[in-house]
Structure 1
Amino acid sequence: MQSNDARILLHTAAPTAAVGALAVAASAVFAGGKGAIGAVFGVVLVLLLMGMGLGVLQWVAKSLPLLFQGIGLVLYVVQLLLMVVFVAVFKNATFFNPRAFAITLVVATVVWIGAQARAHMKAKIFYVDPAAPEAQKSETAGSTT
């Protein structure tokens, strides 16, 4: 993992975890222990799904850069659909509060996406390699004789 990628992961996961801690505390106050368990489950699910998605995007950017934008769009749609599936599957769960789970899931997802957008805007990542023209010039130059 490059330093830019690690920095983006840190700048997205940290705010999401902080908001998740607040959501767990609020859920514990308003919905009791089952609410706190639901909120923890929601935050962990967001961190796992979105973190794996960021890892996939980093891999695609390195190995298939031409497909980066399309894969990114498909990835976000799949992530959101998986979250909807998890909410539907656990809507009648009895071991945690499904409402706290769903609210925390949505809030943590919005925070992750916002933090990721901000991290990408603040990152100083070259989209053109400044050393490349010199390397290409020497390779493509014909014979000097």
Structure 2
Amino acid sequence: MPSADAPLVRGAAIPTAVAGVAAVAAATVLAGAKGLYGALFALLLVMAFFSFGQIAIDRLTRNNPQMMLAVAMCVYMTQILAVGIVLAFFKGTTLFDTKVFGFAVLGLTAVWTVGVVRAAMKAKIFYVVAQSADESVTAPERQP
């Protein structure tokens, strides 16, 4: 992963992990073992989907940075759709508390999104690509 994207993932993953641990602890106290499993599955789901999403954005825009916004919006919508499909798939499960799972996914998604935005606002990402020495442009010579 390029150095510009690593701080974005770190800036989102760390707060999401902290919020996830808090969600797992709260779910365990409020809903027991099934709440623990629901919150833990939500944490793993959000961390995996959004980490892979950032990697996908990096790979898809590496050769064409002008497409960053379009690719990011498509990847984000795909992630939200995929989370919705997972929510629908596990709608009637008894493996874990589905309400805890749903609320944890919503909360952790919000934390991840805020973390990425905050990290992007604080990152010092250059938007001008410097030329290498052999590509340097010389000033045109003056005609007498």
TM-score, length basis structure 1? 0.89
The alignment-based identity, stated in percent, is 34
User: Separation in 1 of the partners of 2:18 and 2:132?
Assistant: 44
Give the match for residue 121 of structure 1. 121
User: Separation in 2 of the partners of 1:84 and 1:136?
Assistant: 50
Letter matched to residue 119 of structure 2: A
Q: Secondary structure at the match of 1:63?
A: coil
Q: Secondary structure at the match of 2:125?
A: coil
Give the match for residue 132 of structure 1. 131
Unaligned runs of 5+ in 1: none
Q: Runs in 1 of length 4+ with deviation above 3 angstroms?
A: 133-136
Count of residue pairs brought into register by the alignment: 141
| Equivalence map 1:45-64=2 (5 Å) | 45-64=45-64
Letter matched to residue 132 of structure 1: Q
User: Separation in 1 of the partners of 2:79 and 2:42?
Assistant: 14
Give RMSD over aligned pairs: 2.0
User: Separation in 2 of the partners of 1:36 and 1:107?
Assistant: 15
Give the match for residue 76 of structure 1. 76
TM-score, length basis structure 2? 0.90
Give the superposition deviation at 1:132.
2.7
User: Separation in 2 of the partners of 1:88 and 1:103?
Assistant: 14
Give the match for residue 20 of structure 1. 20
User: Separation in 2 of the partners of 1:84 and 1:69?
Assistant: 22
Letter matched to residue 4 of structure 2: N
Unaligned runs of 5+ in 2: none
Give the superposition deviation at 1:42.
0.4
User: Separation in 1 of the partners of 2:67 and 2:24?
Assistant: 38
